[in-house]
Structure 1
Amino acid sequence: MTVTEYLELLLDDEKISEDEKEEIRKKRDEVEGAIKEEFGDKVKTVKYSGSIAKHTAINSSKDLDLAIHFKKESFDTLKEMYDTVFDFLDDNYNVRKQKVSIGLTDFDVDVVPGRRIDEEGDSNNDVFLHRSDDDSRIKTNIENHKSHITESGCRNVIKLMKIWKNKWNVKFKSFAMELLVIQALEDSTATGLKDRIKEVLEYVVDKVEDINLVDPANSNNNVADVIEYHKKLFMKTTASTCLSYLDDADDDEDSQLSAWKKVFNDFTGTTNNSYYTDSSIAKRNTSDWGRQPDRRHG
């Protein structure tokens, strides 16, 4: 097996079946119908986002965002909008509050209440969201997010980096990872998966501690700001360890393949377990590697 075949196998193993996608869509449609029935003409539009809609989902990290865009005058405040939607969903489903969304814990669905900024222009999808963590607001545009991913040509690299972060228990929000990969490869001339992944890992080591990931829908929003420093440091240390596996590998195909398996924390077929110690050291080099709160949003 070549390294490229191995990376393609990782992608194939994490591929979501059409049956699974359809099941998630059915649950999304159920929730959408209930919200429309409850809020009626207060709802202006409904948009679909999340990793499944953006085609960046992997089986171990998949979700559909159900963005409910309310009319501008539907609620007096964004907090009232968020809390009203949360209370309704809480009466009907198992839910949890997230930064700007409401997670349905039994579904792979997040509901994102938003209030339209421009009431008249149907083509303008800018909305304000309520931040439940600090009671502030944030501007966003789901259609801009989706087109940014589509036009990047980086979907497979994004998926592999999501697989990588899950294999190492790196806590870095999915949307932030998407933006990071696109930013890392913006001027890249590399074409193969392994070269592109290596460039992203090098970018993480060089930049992640103070990275600025600009929201394509809001230039004032640095998506990386909400990621704690110890998580960025753990990501950097882990990426550095993984690059050392590649640097230490011989040029022959078996050695290269073994190194890339180590990059993805894959012990299959490995007889030399010396890198178990390396991964433990990588974790202990962070200030708080053991505490890993829930993911989301994005």
Structure 2
Amino acid sequence: MSADEYLGGILMREAVDRSINSPVRGIAQTLAPVIQTWSAGYLNSVSASGSFAKGTANRSGTDIDLFLSLASNTPSTLAEIYNTLFNAMTKAGYTPRRQNVSINVRVGGYDVDLVPAKRQDKYSSDHSLYRRKADTWTKTNVDRHIAVVTGAGRELETRVVKLWRNQKGLDFPSFYLELIVIEALRGFGGTLSSCVWRVFEFLRDSFSAARVIDPANTNNVISDDLTVNEKAALKRAAETALTAKTWGEIVR
């Protein structure tokens, strides 16, 4: 079996149903009564976002991100929006878990990341969301993020790298990872295995010093999301991957 056949088999095993009939999409309907009550009439929309929407999700990873868009005239602060959503999920009988900009809940056997945000104005898709770890806020544009990742056409390579990240227990935020894969493979053509190898080389040689900017907000430096030590851990893991004798030692 060639390297590409091996990786292709893993990706087939990890394929996520993104069709209109996907059971994952029914989660929004399940949570709708809780979300509607929590939003107090200010809800604009609930839409799939993150890895699921970008085609970079794996079955063994988080199943779906739901972006909860609130109207620009929502009176609550971003911190209040975040914390009241957590409380609403708790009251509804779920066991929510606070993350940086999202709240994770388990629904019908699926992991769901809820991302609450307030639209900045009624004319654009720019939103403000709460960053819990820094107790601050940031501007984001989910539509722009999806367009950048899908437009790059590096979904397969990204999925392999995400599996490696998860299986090695590495801290590497998904959007940061997606942008690094795109940068590492900019202008590079080759087989799936050679492209993934190139990403590992980038993580070893260039990642630590690479400044990565949010394509929807130039003031948001994505590369600041990891500490020097966390970046060093990723570099060491990439070095180990590059010394492996078989792909089975890298990802399975």
One fold, TM greater than 0.5? Answer: yes
User: Which residue matches 1:281?
Assistant: none
Checking the alignment, whether the CA contact within 8 Å between 1:28 and 1:64 is kept in structure 2 is no
Instruction: Quote the Cα distance in structure 1 between the aligned partners of 2:127 and 2:174.
Output: 21
Per-residue displacement from partner, 1:205-249 (whole Å, max 9, x unpaired)? 11222332211211111222122322221211121122233xxxx
Structure 1 residue 157: Cα displacement: 0.3
Instruction: Quote the Cα distance in structure 1 between the aligned partners of 2:85 and 2:170.
Output: 31
Instruction: Quote the Cα distance in structure 1 between the aligned partners of 2:139 and 2:25.
Output: 26
Checking the alignment, whether the CA contact within 8 Å between 1:96 and 1:105 is kept in structure 2 is no
Instruction: Quote the Cα distance in structure 1 between the aligned partners of 2:38 and 2:83.
Output: 14
**Which SS does the other structure have where 2:243 is aligned?**
helix
User: Which residue matches 1:252?
Assistant: none
Instruction: Quote the Cα distance in structure 1 between the aligned partners of 2:215 and 2:33.
Output: 30
CA gap 1:137/1:214 in 2 versus in 1, 3 angstroms: same
1:1-298 correspondence runs (5 A):
1-17=1-17, 22-92=22-92, 93-106=94-107, 107-119=110-122, 121=123, 124-188=124-188, 190-245=189-244, 259-264=246-251
TM-score computed with the length of structure 2 as normaliser: 0.90
- Please identify the structure whose Cα radius of gyration is greater: 1
| AA of the residue aligned to 1:195 | S
| AA of the residue aligned to 1:228 | T
Number of residues paired by the alignment?
248
Checking the alignment, whether the CA contact within 8 Å between 2:241 and 2:250 is kept in structure 1 is yes
Checking the alignment, whether the CA contact within 8 Å between 1:50 and 1:63 is kept in structure 2 is no
User: Which residue matches 1:285?
Assistant: none
Instruction: Quote the Cα distance in structure 1 between the aligned partners of 2:213 and 2:29.
Output: 31
**Which SS does the other structure have where 1:69 is aligned?**
strand
Structure 1 residue 40: Cα displacement: 4.6
Checking the alignment, whether the CA contact within 8 Å between 2:139 and 2:217 is kept in structure 1 is yes
List gaps (5 residues or longer) in structure 2: none
Checking the alignment, whether the CA contact within 8 Å between 2:38 and 2:85 is kept in structure 1 is no
Checking the alignment, whether the CA contact within 8 Å between 2:16 and 2:59 is kept in structure 1 is yes
Structure 1 residue 99: Cα displacement: 1.0
Structure 1 residue 136: Cα displacement: 0.7
Structure 1 residue 44: Cα displacement: 2.1
Instruction: Quote the Cα distance in structure 2 between the aligned partners of 1:40 and 1:24.
Output: 25
Instruction: Quote the Cα distance in structure 2 between the aligned partners of 1:135 and 1:158.
Output: 30
Checking the alignment, whether the CA contact within 8 Å between 2:185 and 2:195 is kept in structure 1 is yes
Instruction: Quote the Cα distance in structure 1 between the aligned partners of 2:119 and 2:35.
Output: 17
CA gap 1:18/1:154 in 2 versus in 1, 3 angstroms: closer
TM-score computed with the length of structure 1 as normaliser: 0.77
